[in-house]
Amino acid sequence: MFAKNFSSLKSSITSFDLKFTSLFNQRQVDKLQKCHEQSCCNFSLSQRHLQTSEELIMEEYGEPQLVVKKRSVELPSLKPGEILVRVLASPINPSDINTIQGMYAVKPDLPCILGNEAVAEVIQVESPSGSLEVGNWVIPSYNAWGTWRSHAIAESSDFIKLPSGMDRAAAATLAVNPTTAYRMLRDFVDLKPGDTIIQNAANSAVGRNVIQLCSHYGYKSINVVRDRPTIAELKKELTDLGADVVVTERELRTDRKIRQMDKPALALNCVSGKSATELLRHVQDGGVLVTYGGMARQPVTVPVGSLIFNDVRLRGYWQTRWNLNPDNQSARQEMLNDLCELFKQGKLTPPPYKFVHFSDYQTALKDAMPAEGQVGAKQILVFD
Catalytic annotation, residues: 104
Contact in structure between 120 and 86 (CB atoms under 8 Å): yes
Which lies closer to a second copy via its Cβ, residue 114 or residue 324? 324
Q: Does 327 bind a second copy (CB under 8 A)?
A: no
Q: Does 291 bind a second copy (CB under 8 A)?
A: yes
Q: Which of residues 202-221 bind a second copy (CB under 8 A)?
A: none
Residue 77-106 contact track with a second copy, rule CB under 8 A, x = bound: ----------------------------x-
Query: What's the number of CA atoms in the CB half-sphere (13 Å) around residue 162?
Result: 28
Please identify which residue in 292, 343, 358, 361 interacts with a second copy, judged by CB under 8 A: 292
User: CB count, 10 Å around CB of 345?
Assistant: 9
Please identify which residue in 1, 211, 266, 312 interacts with a second copy, judged by CB under 8 A: 312
Q: Does 193 sit behind a cis peptide bond, omega within 30 degrees of 0 on the bond before it?
A: no
Residue 329: its H or E element: helix 329-344
Which lies closer to a second copy via its Cβ, residue 119 or residue 210? 210
Q: What does the alpha-carbon distance between residue 258 and residue 245 come to, in Å, rounded to a whole number?
A: 8
| Eight-class DSSP state of 371 | B
Q: Does 45 bind a second copy (CB under 8 A)?
A: no
Residues that bind a second copy (rule: CB under 8 A) add up to a total of 37
> Which range, of 79-87, 278-286, 331-339, 365-373, touches a second copy by CB under 8 A?
278-286
Q: What does the alpha-carbon distance between residue 284 and residue 267 come to, in Å, rounded to a whole number?
A: 10
CB of 270 to a second copy, least distance (A): 10
Q: Where are the alpha helices (DSSP H) in 137-204?
A: 168-172, 177-186
Q: Does 16 bind a second copy (CB under 8 A)?
A: yes
Nearest residue to 109 via CA among 10, 27, 24: 10
Cα 287 off chain centre by: 25
258-295 exposure pattern, b = at least 16 Cβ within 10 A, e = fewer: beeeebbbbbbbbbbbebbbbbbebbbeebbbbbbbeb
Q: Does 321 bind a second copy (CB under 8 A)?
A: yes
Please identify which residue in 39, 99, 196, 306 interacts with a second copy, judged by CB under 8 A: 306
- Provide DSSP, 212-256: HHHHHHT-EEEEEE---TTHHHHHHHHHHHT-SEEEEHHHHTT-H
Which lies closer to a second copy via its Cβ, residue 95 or residue 150? 95
Q: Does 232 bind a second copy (CB under 8 A)?
A: no
Q: What does the alpha-carbon distance between residue 51 and residue 233 come to, in Å, rounded to a whole number?
A: 46
CB of 324 to a second copy, least distance (A): 12
Which lies closer to a second copy via its Cβ, residue 300 or residue 365? 300
Which lies closer to a second copy via its Cβ, residue 62 or residue 299? 299
Which lies closer to a second copy via its Cβ, residue 16 or residue 52? 16
How many angstroms separate the first and last alpha carbons of the chain? 25
Please identify which residue in 36, 69, 70, 313 interacts with a second copy, judged by CB under 8 A: 313
What are the residues binding a second copy (CB under 8 A)? 13, 16-19, 105, 263, 272, 277, 281, 284-285, 291-294, 299-318, 321
